[in-house]
Amino acid sequence: MLKNRGVNLRTKISIGLILSYTVVISALLLINNNVSKNLKEVLLLNEAKLMAETVIGTAQTNMHSANIAHIISSLSAIDDVSHLFIVNAKTKKILVSNLNKLKNQSLYYIQNDLKASLEKIDLTKRNNQLIGGEGIIYTSLFNAVSKDKKSIEKLIFIIRLSDHKVTGFLHEKTQILIFSAIIGLAFAVSFTLFLFKFQIYRPMNLLIQEIKHAHLNDKPIALQYKSHDEFGYLISAYNKLMSDFFENRENLKLQKELSEQAAKSKSDFLAVMSHEIRTPLNGVVGISSLLNKTHLRGEQKEYCETIIASGKQLLSVINDILDFSKIDAGKLILDLQKRDLNKILKTTVSMFEVTAKNRNIKLISKIEPSIKHNLRLDETRIRQVLVNLISNAFKFTKAGQVTILADVLQSNLKHCTVRFSVTDTGIGLSQSQIDKLFSKFVQADTSTTRKYGGTGLGLAICKSLVELMGGKIWIESELGKGASFIFDLSFEVLDLITYEAEEKDLEIEITGKKILLVEDVLINQKIVNEILKNNSLDIANDGIEAIDKVQQKSYEVILMDCLMPKMDGFEATTKIRELGITTPIIALTASALQETKDQCKEAGMDDYLSKPFDVDEIYKTLAKWL
């Protein structure tokens, strides 16, 4: 849900406006102070000059001294006048003053701060002015007829004006200015907020509320704001954006549903096809394997082995398709166990000894003895990668050799990194072929004759498996000079003390055990019955029969097919567990999908065997539970 955090925009703008206007007013007041100071000085100076001209003019027109004294007295009545003198320039004797006690006294008789100020003035100059403190001192030197009218004497007019009146006047004007500014500020802020509310806040709030509504609801309503200003264009663009967004979202939902449906259909199809192909294949390979153990003539045995090899090749193709599907869907899960990598490599290479002998191709394997025996790895997937690469090497090599190398790149107490390589002396690859060789459904030979065959999935699966195990794979090759397929894998080294003992490569014989086989396909019943002929084997054709039998007789292990008529193996297992029967149940299924394995576990089954049946695998699995 959308939440407002901190101060909203309207408050921010209000604060910004107030601060801006405050700064402007402060600047105006500062300027006003400077202007007031200068104006005060100008006013005082002009007032002083005017008074000086009045008095000097009177003195120079030979007016009676009483008149001058009267003028002086009149000027003294002005609030701003503090001191007013007419002084003899020569004797510095005060002739006329607004202060009677100073009359006929020497100018230097004055004892207040005026004396100190006058000492700073050159009284011999025509005009002087001294501004400072709380006012102005102005002096003017002029000539006047002496009292006896016999000579011209130099006189000095001195006036001191205080600034109280002017300051008060200016202060009053300043207050008016401040009051006007505050009123103007309030009006400006109010008007700005008024405009902001209707021109900015209202459409913006409308947009915000609609965004909240869109966040909480599947589909918002188009905003109704008909204006040709910027917000009008913004809201129009928002309406278009939301319309396109929700239209695209609905399309994506539909595409997702179709994709999920297609993925499920593909998964279901693969499960069904796996079952439908593996079931008859189990009959072909199983019966052929049993037939091969009978006394056959040389030609018959050769035919039988061909059938078995062809069946296994078909099974390999099916496994490639299933693995590709699982990798593509991201559902392939590694089964990491403690295993002996050295042993895995040797047994994998030995699988191709017959092929090498029949093809007259030299098979060389160099496995570094220092490879640790206690590594955590997925044996099935490593073997699958190696088998794919070695098979590929034999496929494209007419003569020469196939070399398998395993070298330790780095090893310590915790981890071991091994480099695997499969090198052949076959037809080699061009750079363009190398660039696309690991792509799905791509082969180096794309000629219409399909000279070498294959699904084009093997190398793509190898790359995906190596990367799933945290490694990398690459090719080094030149056309006509063979090829090397190289991949690096890192393994966790496990404690030797906890390492499980190696399984013996001996056929495990299971005899004299009470076993229940739940299987609806007759050919599969025959195969299992033949494999376990030395045991007491009962057969149930479906889940209902199985439930009846386990209630009548105690078994040491149950082999349960998953897909059967009337009641499948999953439901039968669940009902058997509900009866409190804890007999180990091993699933028999033609499906190799992880989902099927998970379903078996959820139903209460203990283990899993995939069709077509491998005799040794059946013995090993039964040995775990018997």
DSSP 94-157: EEEESSGGGTTSBGGG--SHHHHHHTTS-TTSSEEEEEETTEEEEEEEEEEE-TTSSSEEEEEE
Of 85-99, 102-116, 236-250, 480-494, which one has max mean pLDDT? 480-494
Residue of 305 and 66 predicted with greater confidence: 305
Q: Starting at the earlier edge strand, list the strands of the sheet with 557-561.
A: 536-540, 514-518, 557-561, 585-589, 607-610
Sign of the dihedral defined by the CA atoms of residues 601, 603, 609, 612, in that order: negative
**Separation between Cα atoms, residue 325 and residue 194, nearest integer Å:** 66
Residue of 365 and 213 predicted with greater confidence: 365
Average confidence score pLDDT of the chain: 78
Residue of 68 and 600 predicted with greater confidence: 600
What is the residue extent of each domain of the chain?
A: 13-170, 341-498, 514-625
For the domain spanning 514-625, the CATH number is: 3.40.50.2300
Residue of 10 and 397 predicted with greater confidence: 397
Residue of 197 and 611 predicted with greater confidence: 611
Residue of 402 and 97 predicted with greater confidence: 402
Instruction: Compute the average pLDDT of residues 363-382.
Output: 87
User: Per-residue confidence at 266, pLDDT binned at 50, 70, 90?
Assistant: confident
Instruction: Compute the average pLDDT of residues 58-87.
Output: 67
Tokens of 57: 């003019």
pLDDT at 619: 86
Taking only the tens place, the pLDDT of each residue in 98-145 is 777 777 777 777 766 677 777 777 777 777 776 665 667 778 888 877
**Separation between Cα atoms, residue 476 and residue 419, nearest integer Å:** 14
Domain 341-498 has CATH 3.30.565.10: yes
Backbone angles phi, psi at 256, to 5 degrees: -65, -45
DSSP characters over 207-243: HHHHHHHHHHSSSPPPP----SSHHHHHHHHHHHHHH
**Separation between Cα atoms, residue 21 and residue 121, nearest integer Å:** 45
- DSSP code at position 365: E
Taking only the tens place, the pLDDT of each residue in 311-336 is 776 777 777 777 767 676 666 778 88
Taking only the tens place, the pLDDT of each residue in 408-441 is 998 888 889 999 999 999 888 888 888 877 776 5
Cβ distance 154 to 67 under 8 Å?
no
**Single-letter amino acid code for the residue at 598:** D
Instruction: Compute the average pLDDT of residues 456-478.
Output: 86
The CA R_g of the chain, rounded to the nearest whole Å, is 56
Instruction: Compute the average pLDDT of residues 355-368.
Output: 90
pLDDT at 517: 94
With a CB cutoff of 8 Å and minimum separation 6, the contacts of 93 are 87, 104, 105, 106, 107
DSSP characters over 15-72: HHHHHHHHHHHHHHHHHHHHHHHHHHHHHHHHHHHHHHHHHHHHHHTT--HHHHHHHH
576 pLDDT higher than 90: yes
Q: Give all strands (DSSP E) within 192-339, no chain letters.
A: 337-339
pLDDT at 3: 45
pLDDT at 40: 67
Residue of 234 and 66 predicted with greater confidence: 234
User: Per-residue confidence at 35, pLDDT binned at 50, 70, 90?
Assistant: low
3-state secondary structure of 546: helix
pLDDT at 579: 93
Residue of 269 and 466 predicted with greater confidence: 466
Of 54-63, 84-93, 364-373, 452-461, which one has max mean pLDDT? 364-373
With a CB cutoff of 8 Å and minimum separation 6, the contacts of 417 are 408, 409, 410, 411, 488, 489, 490, 491
227 pLDDT higher than 90: no
567 pLDDT higher than 80: yes
499 pLDDT higher than 50: no
**Residue 409 burial by Cβ neighbours in a 10 Å radius (0-12, 13-18, 19+):** exposed
Tokens of 527: 């195969």
530 pLDDT higher than 80: yes
Cβ distance 164 to 81 under 8 Å?
no
pLDDT at 448: 32
With a CB cutoff of 8 Å and minimum separation 6, the contacts of 404 are 345, 349, 363, 364, 365, 366, 367, 386, 390, 420, 421, 422
The owner of tokens 């739940």 is 518
- Angle 380-381-383 (CA atoms, 0-180°, nearest 5)? 65
**Separation between Cα atoms, residue 134 and residue 141, nearest integer Å:** 24
- Angle 241-246-249 (CA atoms, 0-180°, nearest 5)? 125
User: Per-residue confidence at 450, pLDDT binned at 50, 70, 90?
Assistant: very low
Assign a CATH topology to domain 13-170: Beta-Lactamase (3.30.450)
The owner of tokens 């052949």 is 424
Instruction: Compute the average pLDDT of residues 139-166.
Output: 75
Which neighbouring-strand residues pair with 408?
418
Cβ distance 588 to 561 under 8 Å?
yes
Of 86-95, 100-109, 495-504, which one has max mean pLDDT? 86-95
- Angle 211-215-220 (CA atoms, 0-180°, nearest 5)? 65
343 pLDDT higher than 80: yes
First to last CA, the chain: 59
**Separation between Cα atoms, residue 340 and residue 337, nearest integer Å:** 10
Describe the crossing of helices 458-468 and 379-395 by its angle, rounded to 10 degrees. 150
